[in-house]
Structure 1
């Protein structure tokens, strides 16, 4: 036992491990499957339409039109009423459809953030109340401003404009519904 006389057992094992165990590269976690399809750098790839899965705490199943030509996002709202609360602040009370068939409505009340003057397709500007809401589209959570108006004649109950999309999305207008459930989750609260 020549080795035991000169080296302790622990030192011998350490030297043996250095000699026998080859240098291996560190193990890294594989990116989630299909992440390349839904994220480019720190931005998500949005199609011409995406599904809104949640507004504040309410689960939804509605489609949003992704429109980089609109400055302000817009939400379909019915029975819009502005009321002054006891503390003097103004609140907007309204109903929002939460399914694509637009029959199921939820009641919401949000503080009035401001009024926006919105240019319509007919050429006449409208004065609309603006509220702030949290939304989830697949893996993406964000808080954004919405003008409230009836969008009942439109195919999409929500329109996401540049106030929501900047620093969040890259738009591929040739495709739809690109956000996948297996994308990595992200929160964007400006």
Structure 2
């Protein structure tokens, strides 16, 4: 049987269960590369985290492929990890670049693989997938924006 507890500062408590942070289906996520927090959809059905990326360009730096893209009017550059093929319902598969970004959700900061996608038609510019959630979070789909602690724990 697990233990449910609250920890943190007086007004910055975070609910936990068996050392997992409890979060809602929508949360604020901090993108460390641009020092900016944005609303994100938490999706346990998605394997990989995805971020809204506009004006995606690849280039060579020191003989290695890099990606440059715009997120919320801020330019980010990162080494290209790989290209993934995404299956689309009723359409041709598309290829998307994958980079590693450091993201913070609740008290957890992790560097994870992120697919770059045009999410302009979606309500939320960030989709948090299982690669970020695994081993650290429990999602309560009945709640939103419940992780307000800003104490950092780096998970490298």
Q: TM-score range by the shorter chain?
A: 0.7 to 0.9
Q: CA deviation at 1:116?
A: 1.1
Tell me how far 1:138 sits from its aligned partner: 3.4
Ranges in structure 2 where 5+ consecutive residues have no aligned partner: 1-5
Q: Please tell me whether the aligned partners of residues 38 and 180 of structure 1 are also in contact (alpha carbons under 8 angstroms).
A: no
Query: Which residue in 1 is equivalent to 2:83?
Result: 115
Report if aligned partners of 2:34, 2:76 keep a CA contact under 8 Å in 1: no
What residue in structure 2 maps to residue 49 of structure 1? 26
Counterpart contact for 1:51–1:62, Cα < 8 Å: yes
* Structure of greater Rg: 1
Q: 1:137 to 1:171 in 2, by over 3 A?
A: same
Which of residues 65, 68, 72 is equivalent to 2:41? Answer: 65
Q: Which residue in 2 is equivalent to 1:133?
A: 101
In structure 2, relative to structure 1, the CA distance for the partners of 1:67 and 1:121 (3 Å cut) is farther
Query: Relative contact order (alpha carbons < 8 A, sep ≥ 6): 1 or 2 greater?
Result: 2
- Whether the 8 Å CA contact 1:65–1:160 is kept in 2: the answer is yes
User: 1:70 aligns to what SS in structure 2?
Assistant: coil
Instruction: Sort the Cα spacing of 1:34 and 1:188 in 2 relative to 1 into closer, same or farther, 3 A.
Output: farther
8 Å CA contact 2:14–2:149 kept in 1: the answer is no
Equivalent pair of 2:13/2:148 in contact (CA under 8 Å): no
C-alpha RMSD over aligned residues: 2.1
Q: TM-score, normalised by structure 2?
A: 0.86
Partner of 2:3: none
Tell me which residue corresponds to 1:186. 153
For these two proteins, the number of residue pairs brought into alignment is 150
Cα deviation for residue 122 of structure 1 reads 4.8
Unmatched runs of 5 consecutive residues or more in structure 1: 1-29, 98-104
Aligned position for 1:89: 64
Structure whose residues are more often helix by fraction: 1
Structure 1 residues 108 and 119: alpha-carbon distance in aligned structure 2, compared to 1, 3 A threshold: same
- Which structure shows the bigger proportion of residues in strand conformation? 2
Moved over 6 A (4+): none
How far apart, CA to CA, are the structure 1 residues paired with 2:128 and 2:88?
Answer: 15
